[in-house]
């Protein structure tokens, strides 16, 4: 599948640091519609796809998160499968796809006009309620009282009620609108907006609560328009690459990487993924504020199924379960990856006490060799933005295997 000599030469010529990438900046395009823990630069995924995927037709990311790599594969014209065991990560990916396929300023204007009319009819009654009654009336978890001031919570409740209304347009855009609201909850709306999201994950008190007035209406409308514009720009890119009409939208699937054989029976010829790094992130609980507002039923199951979570970074049992999950995942990937296909892995290791005693990278390298993968190249990239300060690492490895 392609000249290996050419591939190795190209891999060696790339500066994999992508030092200009800022996950919190405006230059991330469609991936800026909603934040997500530990995203890697789209350039890393796109470059690996350009080099390794020349002859591939189908693509899989079994730990897709918010689907940075799957979108790059879609733009390159491949049939894409994106899988994650975090329900809300899949919702973010689906929202991106909807903004790309059907988003435009005219739709944004129609939605905005309907929202503002609805808000004018509802905000006065919500504004008179105490926070607990706002939650009861709008189906918001009472835990939200801890994180939002009364005026902000009233506005959020109105937005939620509008999203769930029976209006034809809001019904069509319900998921994307929910993701749009979600993207603002921590960074703009909560009392902890000047703190890392792990304060919310850990239910920590913040030293300086952000209690100043927040213009929820303006911020929500502005974000909605911005998401529509980012969708239009991404659609233009898709069309420029000649893939807009002949390449199907990626399949975003809520599931586990350990069960790929039940999800993708026909196999794929290229896999690019970045599995969770032990002890680094609580991906599911990072969206805790969103769950307080929308309370989707899969949340508790997702928390229980998460591999290598930060909250369990000091547990030997959790480390053992993490290694077991990784082995089953790599085994599943090997079974569905077609002969000659490439597996590209982006991996890192934290500096938790357990990770220093038993390096996850060493263990996963043994697993991949035992399963039967053949590594043809390895590289390293410097990370400019650390993931979480209390469990830092500054490098990632890139391993390329061939089946």
Structure confidence by residue, pLDDT tens digits, 65-78: 999 999 999 999 99
CA-nearest of 165, 100, 157 to 131 is 157
- Other CB atoms closer than 10 Å to residue 31's CB: what's the count? 22
Distance of CA 22 to the CA centre of its chain: 16
> Which domains can be identified in the chain, with CATH numbers?
4-96+232-289+316-357+367-402 (3.40.50.150), 102-231 (no CATH)
Q: What are 351-389's pLDDT values in tens digits?
A: 678 878 888 999 999 999 999 999 999 999 988 765 444
- Which residues are 402's β-sheet partners? 342, 374
d(CA 48, CA 44): 6
pTM: 0.94
pLDDT tens across 162-214, in order? 999 988 889 999 999 999 999 999 999 999 998 989 999 999 989 999 999 99
Strands (E), 71-163: 79-84
Tokens of 102: 């059907």
Closest CA to 102 of 32, 173, 37: 173
Q: Are strands 337-347 and 268-273 parallel, antiparallel or unpaired?
A: parallel
Strands 58-61 and 79-84: parallel
What is the pLDDT, as a whole number, of residue 385?
Answer: 61
Is residue 179 within 8 Å of 33, Cβ to Cβ?
A: yes
DSSP state of 286: G
**CA gap 214, 152 in Å, rounded:** 7
The alpha carbon of 160 is separated from its chain's Cα centroid by a whole number of angstroms, namely 22
pLDDT at 256: 95
Q: What is the C-alpha to C-alpha distance for residues 179 and 31, in angstroms, rounded to an integer?
A: 12
User: What are the start-end ranges of the E strands in 23-114?
Assistant: 58-61, 79-84
pLDDT of 240 > 50? The answer is yes
Query: Average of pLDDT values for 277-295?
Result: 95
């Amino acid at each position: 599948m392609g000249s290996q000599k050419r591939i190795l030469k190209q891999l060696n010529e790339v500066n994999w640091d992508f030092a200009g990438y800022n996950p919190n900046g405006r230059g991330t395009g469609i991936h800026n519609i909603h934040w997500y823990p530990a995203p890697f630069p789209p350039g890393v995924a796109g470059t690996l796809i350009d080099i390794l995927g020349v002859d591939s037709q189908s693509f899989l990311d079994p730990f897709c998160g918010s689907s940075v790599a799957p979108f790059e594969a879609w733009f390159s014209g491949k049939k894409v499968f994106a899988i994650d065991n975090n329900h809300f990560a899949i919702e973010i990916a689906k929202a991106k796809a909807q903004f790309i396929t059907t988003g435009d300023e005219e739709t944004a204007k129609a939605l905005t006009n309907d929202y503002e009319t609805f808000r004018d009819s509802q905000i006065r009654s919500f504004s008179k309620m105490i926070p607990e009654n706002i939650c009861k009336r709008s189906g918001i978890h009472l835990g939200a009282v801890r994180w939002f001031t009364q005026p902000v919570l009233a506005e959020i409740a109105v937005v939620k009620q509008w999203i769930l209304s029976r209006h034809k347009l809001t019904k069509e855009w319900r998921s994307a609108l929910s993701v749009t609201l979600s993207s603002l909850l921590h960074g703009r709306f909560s009392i902890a907006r000047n703190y890392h999201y792990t304060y919310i994950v850990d239910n920590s008190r913040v030293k300086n609560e952000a209690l100043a007035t927040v213009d929820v209406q303006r911020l929500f409308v502005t974000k909605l328009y911005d998401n529509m514009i980012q969708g239009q720009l991404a659609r233009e890119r898709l069309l420029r690459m000649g893939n807009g009409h002949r390449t199907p939208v990626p399949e975003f699937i809520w599931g586990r990487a350990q069960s790929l054989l039940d999800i993708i029976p026909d196999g794929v010829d290229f896999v690019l993924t970045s599995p969770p790094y032990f002890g680094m992130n609580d991906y599911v609980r990072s969206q805790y504020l969103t769950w307080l507002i929308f309370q989707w039923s899969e949340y508790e199951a997702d928390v229980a199924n998460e591999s290598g979570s930060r909250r369990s970074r000091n547990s030997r049992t959790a480390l053992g379960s993490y290694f077991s999950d990784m082995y089953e995942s790599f085994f599943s990937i090997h079974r569905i990856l077609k002969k000659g296909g490439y597996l590209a892995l982006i991996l890192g290791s934290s500096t938790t006490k357990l990770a220093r005693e038993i390096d996850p990278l060493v263990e996963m390298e043994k697993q991949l060799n035992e399963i039967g993968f053949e590594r043809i190249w390895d590289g390293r990239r410097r990370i400019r933005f650390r993931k979480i300060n209390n469990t830092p690492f500054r490098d990632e490895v890139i391993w390329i295997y061939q089946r």
